[in-house]
Structure 1
């Protein structure tokens, strides 16, 4: 019996020894990996001076917007101007444990894997909001396991150097949300024709559903998919305690009106705006004019400009009438007529024809 007890003790000691070797080896491997991939990583301190590409706006004498020029349509807004419901919608959809994790959410990774397998498609991502900030602002978009390791290291560093509010400010202003819109303010204008402060819960859930795949869930192109994604976001908000089931049902029954935003560059004073743009580019350079969010105040009066354009158009029409009919603008073969008419129909769209306007047409003998 004594010999058996001695053998048991030896086995236990051997097990503990092997376990210690594994722990030490694993710790050494992890430390070595961290040290190796930490070399030459960008500094997270640069995020403190966040100055992204944003819209340059031209204003008329009365303060109305007459033009916007940009390479990325982004309007940077402070975090305290973004509605609380919108922040909660993004957190619920993209990173439920955002306010408690330290950059990496291991439970979230496992949950996303399970949910995606269950749904048969990617409906959740494993990256935290902090990781997405690191990827978007500090790393290249190239997909590789090396980048994922660097992303995780940077996310940890970001969490140590920035507050949660500062991270959300970067994320919500930087993220691409489809149809040329970068950041939630530009997206609110693009999709709903609203200032970011006016967004309701139903609209917030639509926007929060876009980061995973902006084109796939576009309310412009795929309203049914967008609605399904909205429902998913709202259910996540209920699960995380941000809203009640009654609020979810109310949001689902709220009618969403999608409004495309017209480019003011072509609406009021296009030739004047182009002249101003050229002068600015000559003085400051294209990079500054298109990316640094300048506010340009001009002397043009929209009411006078519209009256002048109307008078010129009237004069041109009267001149054209005096000169008489000068033949068609083009000749079409019989098989070309359907394509021409389809093109004209698409250009006119659903807008009713306006009295006094001129439209392309086909005259048949």
Structure 2
């Protein structure tokens, strides 16, 4: 049987160094989730076999939203406690899909969205040698230090390389190496090349790509955003408004958060006045109707629906236009319940639904000084405001 090349994308990490909010692989980068950009580098090719993604057990909904519209993906695999565990789970899934020992597998970080066709070509060719990794020369002087920060040596940088992914291996070789490492209790190996080395295999280095950076910190995410932003010159602002009346009940949904209260809000869905206003604001930025045109109350499938579906849909519509959400803000007017104690939770939840960082979400609130229907405690009003950046129209 002719050898094939498969791809294993590891995206099960939490990305804690990238700050609070969504795991970094699901955050939007110039209008698309990072993971979607990473996977697209492989899915656009016709010379690859299975493309399998390893995800965290809690991330299936995030994953499904991120890869919506991508064709050719195998079902995702749930990872383990360590990267090694996750890769091993992915290799087992590829074996179940028919990967043979002489096939090549490319193992790639989910947070490296800039892999080029040339780099993938080099990886595929190098993988036939058994085990190979992309590496870039070190141009800065490197110092070895002790626990007190004192320099203990200056390694010869000509013999050093900064290693990247995709790392390429014969499938049988890396599968056996991972199995051996697990059997011997080695869970501290930082990449798959180290696993192969542990099992006694020679690993070669082929030319990497300095632009093929892994997005690890908040600074990395901002730099990547700047790298892709120059064409997003069409800045737009949209406004939304919603109001719902109180009826008998024991809680309200506001900003995706369930808040205990003496009443609930009346509506066809869960009546989350905040998410409804933000949905309309986002749709307004691209002239794409309003929440009623996308989710008509006459359609019974939306009866009692969770409003996070509406806001997520609006965010996806913006991204489908190549846009990026710069900021969304909700202003809430009511006498009760008090918004302050729930503001942070709302901000975090809205950011999660929209696929943006929490510092791009604002939640403000006030009363109407007991005037009007809100002042009489008859309902809640919310305004939504959104700013997005879209690709500039061609002249």
Larger Rg: 1
What TM-score does the superposition give when structure 2 sets the normalisation length?
Answer: 0.23
Higher strand share: 2
Structure with the larger RCO, 1 or 2 (CA within 8 Å, 6+ apart)? 1
What TM-score does the superposition give when structure 1 sets the normalisation length?
Answer: 0.24
Higher helix share: 1
